[in-house]
A and B are shown apart, each in its own frame.
Chain A
Amino acid sequence: MRVDRLALDKVARDFTDGRQVRRVLFPTELELAAGQLTILAGPSGSGKTTLLSIMGLVLRPTEGRLFLGDVELTRLSDAAAAAVRLGNYGFVFQQPMLVEGLPVIENVLLAAGVQGGRPPRALRQRATELLAALGLSGTERMQPRLLSGGMKQRASIARALLKNPTVLLCDEPTSSLDAESGQAVMAILKRTALEDHRIVVVVSHDARVFPYADRLVKLENGRIVSDTRERYVDLGSSAV
C-alpha cells in the first residue's frame, strides 16, 4: 500500500488518572503529505508524543478518526493494527532501542521478521545496503553495545527504512546525540522524505532541527497553536 496522506479527523485523547479523566490531546485535525518532513514541536506535556503514538497505531484515540490514504485505521483490532504497522510504518525512537544480543543486521531485519518467517535474501541485501548507505558498513555482525550512540541511531533508521515504509515516525531522534550526529540523522530523514516520497513525522523540541522541516506544527496544552509550511533546507541528493 503506497499512499500519500496521513490524516487525523478531530482526534482527541484522554487519560485516566485515578478517578480523574484528563484530556491531553484536544480534537485535532491534521493532514500530512508524502514527500514532506513534518516536525511536531512543543514543550513537554504539549501532546506531541500522544499525537505521534496515535499516528503510529500504538495508542487508540478516545475520539476522532485516523486515515492512511482513504483507509480508516481507527477501529482496527490489535492484530490488524500490528499488520499495518509492519507493512506501512517505520519507527525511530528517542533511544535507538536496538535489541541487545541481536547483531546489528538482525536488529535491522527485525522490522521484517517480527511476525515470524525468515526474511528473504533480497531484504537481507537491502539491510546491508541501508547500513552501508548510513555509514555502517562492517558493523553487520557487531553487537549494538559496541556502537556509538550516533551509530546506533543510524542503525535504528536502517531498521525503520528496511521495508520501505509509507510513514516514518520519529520521536526525538536527535535528543540523545551530539550536535554533529544529530545533524547527520536529520539530513538522512530529510532525504528519505523528499527522495522516497514518504510521510516523515519528527517529534522534537530542539529548535536546532527545525530548519529541516517542510512543515512545522507546534502544540501547546494539547492543541495545535501554529502550523507553518516552509521548506527550510535543500540538502542535495544522496539516495538512502
Chain B
Amino acid sequence: MRSRVAFRMVLHDRASTAGSLLGVVAIVFLVGQQLSVFFGLLNYMSVLVDHSAADVWITSAELRNADATNFISGRYVDRVLGFPEIAWAEPVLFANGLFRTPTGSFESVRLVGCRRPRLIAGPWEFVKGEPAALLDLESITIDSLDVVKLGQPELSSVTEIGGRRVRVAGITKGARGFQGTLVFAAIDKVREIAATPPGRYSAVLVGLKPGADRDAVLARLRSALPQCSVFSKGELSRLTRLYYITNTGIGGSFGFSTAIAVLIGVVIISLTMYASVLGRYKDFAVLRALGGRRRDIVIVVLSQALMIAGAGVFFGLVLLAVLLDATRGSEVPSYMPAMVPPTLALAAVVVSILGSMVALVQALKAEPASVFH
C-alpha cells in the first residue's frame, strides 16, 4: 500500500515528477555522453596497442606512452626469437609526415610502418581495399574518418607524404590515434619518408607460442634486455591511457564536467522533490496520524525517488542509445563499454536517493498533531 501511495503521488504530482525526472534523465544522458566520449578518446589513446596482434611490446627504455618511442636496435628482433616461448617478433616503425591532399595542401599524419608480409601492427578493419594492399611498397591506407580531412583522395590515387610518392590502396575503419590521423604503410616506405637510420625501429612486437607463461616470459625478456622497456599489451595500453589522462588534463576536464552534470541533476531532483513534499506536507501528517510510522514515511518518499529514478534511467539510456547510434562512425569519439550502462543506472539511482534526502527530512518533520488545526 505504501508503494502504491507513492506511485499515485508520483502520477498525480505531474509537475514535480517531471522536474525530478528531468534531473535523472539529465544525469544519465549527460554523464553517459561524457563517458562515451571519454572512453572513445581512451580507445584513441591506445588504439595501436589494443589492436595489435602482439602479446608483448619491446620499446626504448623509460617509455611513458606508446606514442613517444625512441629508436631501438633491430638486433633485438633476432635476440628475442632465440627464446623458445616466442612464436614471432616483428619490428614496427612510427614517424610523422605531411600528407599532400589532392588540392595541394598538406595535413600532418602519423605513419605506422609494418614489415611485410606479416604486417603486424597493420590495419585491422577495412572499408575499402584489403590488408594485402600494403604488400606493395608504395601503398598506404587512410582511415574513413580522415578521408574528408585529407581531401577525399580516390582509391589508387597517387600522392606524396614527406615528398615521397605513395598510393592510397585502402581505406580503414576505426584507425584513429589520439595524436590524429593514422596512415599505415610498409616499414621501408616509412623509413624512406622519415629518413630513419637503417636497422632502427620504434618497437618490436612479440607473439608468444600457445601455452607460454606470459609473466615468466616478460620477466626473462626484461632481464635479457635491460636497455629496453618490456610491456605486456595490457600494460602498455594502461600506461599510455594513464599518461594522457594525467598529462593532458583530459581526466580532470571530464571528471569536472561529469561532476557538474551530477550536481545539476542532484539539485534539480532535490528542489523538485522538496517542493513536492512541501505540497504534500499535510498528507504526510495524515499518514502519520492514521498510524504511519516514520519508517513508513521513509518508504513512501524513497519509493517515489526509486520510481522516478527508474523511469529517468530508462528514458536517459534510450536518449543515450539514440545519440550513440547517431554518432557511430562519425568524427565524434564515442564508445560505451558494456559495464557502463548498468553502472550509470546504479549511480543514477544512488544520486536520486541522495537527492531525495532533503525532501525526506522535510516529510519526516510532518507532525501528526498538525492535522488537528
Query: From B9, which residue of chain A is reached at the shortest CB distance?
Result: A101
Chain A, 86-102, CB within 8 A of any chain B CB: 86-87, 89, 91, 93-94, 97, 99-102
How many residue pairs, one in A and one in B, have C-beta atoms under 8 Å apart? 100
Q: Hey, which chain B residues are within 8 Å of A114, CB to CB? A: 1-2, 287, 290-292, 296
- B338 at the A/B interface (Cβ < 8 Å)? no
Q: Hey, which chain A residues are within 8 Å of B188, CB to CB? A: none
The answer on a CB contact under 8 Å between B287 and A110 is yes
Q: Choose from A82, A93, A97 the contact partner of B292 (Cβ within 8 Å).
A: A82
- With an 8 Å Cβ cutoff, the count of chain A residues facing the other chain is 38
Given the interface pairs A110-B1, A116-B299, the reply to whether A58 lies near B371 with Cβ below 8 Å is yes
Given the interface pairs A101-B11, A101-B13, the reply to whether A58 lies near B287 with Cβ below 8 Å is no
The answer on a CB contact under 8 Å between A58 and B367 is yes
The answer on a CB contact under 8 Å between B371 and A115 is no
The answer on a CB contact under 8 Å between A91 and B294 is no
The answer on a CB contact under 8 Å between A49 and B292 is no
Q: Choose from B4, B8, B288, B290 the contact partner of A111 (Cβ within 8 Å).
A: B290
CB distance from A183 to the nearest CB of B (A): 22
User: How far is A106 from B287 in the complex, measured between Cα atoms in Å?
Assistant: 13
The answer on a CB contact under 8 Å between A101 and B1 is no
The answer on a CB contact under 8 Å between B290 and A85 is yes
- B37 at the A/B interface (Cβ < 8 Å)? no
Chain A, 161-183, CB within 8 A of any chain B CB: 171-172
- A117 at the A/B interface (Cβ < 8 Å)? yes
CB distance from A95 to the nearest CB of B (A): 8
- A59 at the A/B interface (Cβ < 8 Å)? yes
User: How far is A69 from B11 in the complex, measured between Cα atoms in Å?
Assistant: 43
Report whether over half of chain A's contact residues are helix, strand or loop; otherwise say mixed: mixed
Q: Hey, which chain A residues are within 8 Å of B288, CB to CB? A: 58, 82
User: How far is A78 from B297 in the complex, measured between Cα atoms in Å?
Assistant: 13
The answer on a CB contact under 8 Å between A102 and B371 is no
CB distance from B275 to the nearest CB of A (A): 15
Q: Hey, which chain A residues are within 8 Å of B368, CB to CB? A: 58, 85
Q: Hey, which chain B residues are within 8 Å of A115, CB to CB? A: 2, 291-293, 296
- A109 at the A/B interface (Cβ < 8 Å)? yes
- B214 at the A/B interface (Cβ < 8 Å)? no
- B155 at the A/B interface (Cβ < 8 Å)? no
CB distance from A199 to the nearest CB of B (A): 17
The answer on a CB contact under 8 Å between B373 and A49 is yes
User: How far is A168 from B155 in the complex, measured between Cα atoms in Å?
Assistant: 90
Q: Hey, which chain A residues are within 8 Å of B238, CB to CB? A: none
Query: From A89, which residue of chain B is reached at the shortest CB distance?
Result: B291
Give 10 CB contacts A-B under 8 Å: A78-B294, A79-B293, A82-B288, A82-B291, A86-B290, A87-B291, A110-B1, A112-B1, A113-B5, A117-B1
Shortest beta-carbon contacts, A-B, top 4: A86-B291, A113-B1, A101-B12, A58-B368
Q: Which residues of A contact B (CB under 8 A)?
A: 49, 52-53, 56, 58-59, 78-79, 82-83, 85-87, 89, 91, 93-94, 97, 99-102, 106, 109-119, 159, 171-172, 203
Given contacts A82-B291, A91-B289, 8 further A-B contacts (CB under 8 A): A58-B371, A79-B294, A99-B286, A100-B12, A110-B5, A110-B287, A113-B4, A116-B296
